Amino acid sequence: MSSTYYIFIVLILIVAFLLMLVIMVQNPKGGGLSSSFGGGGNQQIGGVQKTTDFLDKSTWALGTILIVLILITNFTNLSATGQQSKVSGDSIQTTQPVDTNTNSTDDTTTN
């Protein structure tokens, strides 16, 4: 495999780790890290809402980057090994089933 394949693997691991951290910081009920910034109550001058927006956008961006890197790695790996992609529309080889019934006698016997 080529060195670009390993570079993409390392990038995937880094992005996956960052995505895990961003998701772990968030709280599904709106608390989490964003509630600890900006105090409490209705003091949403910019602290809490901006932190929540940043975490939300970071999650979507890192998820998108992860999917793109996985797809690029797949095509890089296919081109390095010389295989053709099934997605590109190349002809797919099909095989015919082999007839396993080789007996020439009839199975129905009358007594």
Q: What is the mean pLDDT of residues 12-41?
A: 74
Token readout for 39 is 């105090």
CA distance 94 to 26: 49
pTM above 0.85, yes or no: no
Asked if 76 and 5 count as a contact pair (C-beta separation under 8 A), the reply is yes
Cα 67 to its chain centre, rounded Å, is 5
Asked if 5 and 77 count as a contact pair (C-beta separation under 8 A), the reply is yes
Q: What is the mean pLDDT of residues 78-95?
A: 58
CA distance 6 to 11: 9
Burial grade of 15 (CB within 10 A; 0-12, 13-18, 19 or more): buried
Per-residue model confidence (pLDDT) at position 71: 93
pLDDT value at 35 more than 50: yes
Which of the four pLDDT bands, split at 50, 70 and 90, describes residue 75?
confident
Which of the four pLDDT bands, split at 50, 70 and 90, describes residue 76?
confident
- In the chain, % helix, strand, coil (3-state, to 5) comes to 55, 0, 45
